[in-house]
Amino acid sequence: MLDIKNLSVRYNSAGRVVDAVRDVSVHVEKGSFMGLVGESGSGKSTLMMAVLGLLPKQTEISGELLYNGSDIIKMSEDKMRDLRWKEISLVPQSAQNSFTPVIKIKSHIEEVLNIHSNKFGEEAEKDVIRLLGEVGLDAGIKERYPHELSGGQKQRAAIALALACSPALLLADEPTTALDVIVQAEILKLLSELQKRKDLSIILVTHDLPLAAMVCDRLIVMKDGMVAETGTPRDIINDPQHPHTKELVREMFRERNQNNG
């Protein structure tokens, strides 16, 4: 479904050059739940923005980003617009803060349905209720303003928004950051259920290795813009190869022991 080959991304802003992604190759199979793990600044969000064709203009990008065989890097903006929301959709980092405060939840979702699925009026409203249901929210939430939702509810609403046009691939950038551990687990469970129920492919972006290991069937560990390691959670936790992954796994067991002690 998604084949990233030797991708490099270099930001060029205000005379500063940053090699945010360096020679990254990743293969995402249809129906998989992939975890993209790495510390802050390792290039996770940059990689996701590249997949969506949303990098700033002056950015240098090389390599291939094949989505069902077509290279996203070479795609026209029109073609890309067809792909976003309907094929590949993003739950952005800090999604909870990305809702406009004075706009009701339903209007946020309806706007996406209007623009990208050409659905209006009753048809759109029906979809809003269905989408809220799919993420475990009551229909009544649609009449609320963003500040009237808890953090976990807002995150669910952000997922509903991303699902509005029935994408095949969902990119979820740190969807559980800033939530308490119980709500984190609920959001992960939701993503996992959605992945199975809708035959959705998901890339979960997180700095939290244990969290990704809980739900993902494959992990990619990034460090300094490069792929340090890929494998199943079991392989990576039982037998990490890269020094950085070894450190992450040690850290994971240290925390676990502290919590148990």
Binding interface with Mg ion (CB under 5 A): 45, 93
Residue type, position 75, single letter: M
Q: How far is the CB of 47 from ligand ATP (least distance, A)?
A: 7
Q: At 60, list the tokens.
A: 């240098």
Q: How far is the CB of 17 from ligand ATP (least distance, A)?
A: 9
* Residue 86 vs 207, nearer CB to ligand ATP: 207
70-71 and 201-206 as β-strands: parallel, antiparallel, unpaired? unpaired
The CA–CA distances, whole Å, from 50 to 18, 44, 55, 74, 237 equal: 15, 10, 6, 12, 28
Angle at CA of residue 116, ends 188 and 5, nearest 5°: 60
Biggest CA-to-CA distance, the chain: 56
Per CB under 6 A, contacts with ligand ATP among 5-44 are 11, 13, 18, 20, 38, 40-44
Q: Which does 218 bind (CB under 5 to 8 A by kind): Mg ion, ligand ATP, none?
A: none
Neighbouring CB atoms inside 10 A of 85's CB total 22
Q: Which does 11 bind (CB under 5 to 8 A by kind): ligand ATP, Mg ion, none?
A: ligand ATP
* Residue 141 vs 216, nearer CB to Mg ion: 216
Among 34, 35, 46, 211, binds ligand ATP (CB under 6 A): 46
Alpha carbons within 13 angstroms on the beta-carbon side of residue 182 total 1
Per CB under 6 A, contacts with ligand ATP among 201-240 are 207
Q: Does 69 bind ligand ATP (CB under 6 A)?
A: no
How many positions of this chain bind ligand ATP (CB under 6 A)? Answer: 15
Q: Among residues 47, 21, 34, 69, which one has the least CA distance to residue 191?
A: 34
Q: Does 244 bind ligand ATP (CB under 6 A)?
A: no
Distance from C-alpha of 92 to C-alpha of 250, rounded to nearest angstrom: 29
Q: At 63, list the tokens.
A: 């390599």
* Residue 11 vs 145, nearer CB to ligand ATP: 11
Q: Which does 46 bind (CB under 5 to 8 A by kind): ligand ATP, Mg ion, none?
A: ligand ATP
Q: Which does 155 bind (CB under 5 to 8 A by kind): ligand ATP, Mg ion, none?
A: none
Distance from C-alpha of 236 to C-alpha of 249, rounded to nearest angstrom: 8
Residues forming contacts to ligand ATP in the complex (CB under 6 A) are 11, 13, 18, 20, 38, 40-46, 56, 93, 207
